Amino acid sequence: MAVVHRTVLRPTKLELLTSWLPTRPWYAGGTGAPELVKAGGFRLDDPEGEVGIEFLVVTDASGSRPAAYLVPLTYRGAPLDGAEHALVGTMEHGVLGRRWAYDGCHDPVLVAQLAALIEGRVQAQDQNTSDVPDREVTRSCTADGATPTGSTAGATDDPQGTELPAPRGTTLRLQRVLRPTPDDEPLPPPRAVGHVAGSWALPDGTRARGLFAVLHDDTSPSDY
């Protein structure tokens, strides 16, 4: 079980993301610096207890209209070999000392635990409280052995999000720019063989719900 520490981070996560988000191909903000607010998310546990895993949702008010981004992050006590391209930045943690923060789509620990979540082998955890499940996070999987195995080889960013290759002709797409799902649309969407969905806060104080990740069959058309 991961322990959520009540402590100070320098720089903060939002400060790191202010510099990092505009470098992503899926970033849709304005020409100025992002104006970020934490809007939600959840955590997963590392079975080895070494790596912090967080799926952070932030809203950005710098563009013509607010945008919400899903940012999977891992926190490590030492650099991850071969992942220099995925480093978001380093922070000083008031309890744990120096932490290396990575784009979790390029960290095999996060990818393996995300697969376990989709398959129902682990449960999403509350973002802010230790040992409390997050009941707002839902998942499904109808394809046995079709989720990523933990390898990050082939992970690619595009203007719509991040794709991770998976076994048996499937692809896992992370929805980096989040969009609320209308009440009359089903979750999971048609043709999906797996998904993760969750909720986040909108700037007006209401809550939205939408897809965080979709596992789809590459042999069928996809419009996610």
What is d(CA 72, CA 55) in angstroms, rounded to the nearest whole number?
A: 4
Question: Would you give per-residue pLDDT tens digits along the chain (224 residues)?
Answer: 566 666 677 899 999 999 999 999 999 988 889 999 999 999 999 999 999 999 999 999 998 899 999 999 999 999 999 999 999 999 997 777 799 999 999 999 999 999 999 999 999 999 989 889 999 999 999 877 667 766 677 789 999 899 988 877 788 999 999 999 998 888 888 878 999 999 999 999 999 999 999 998 876 545 55
Peptide bond into 188 cis (omega under 30): yes
Instruction: Report the SS3 class of residue 115.
Output: helix
pTM of the model: 0.91
| Burial of 182 per CB tally in 10 Å (0-12, 13-18, 19+) | exposed
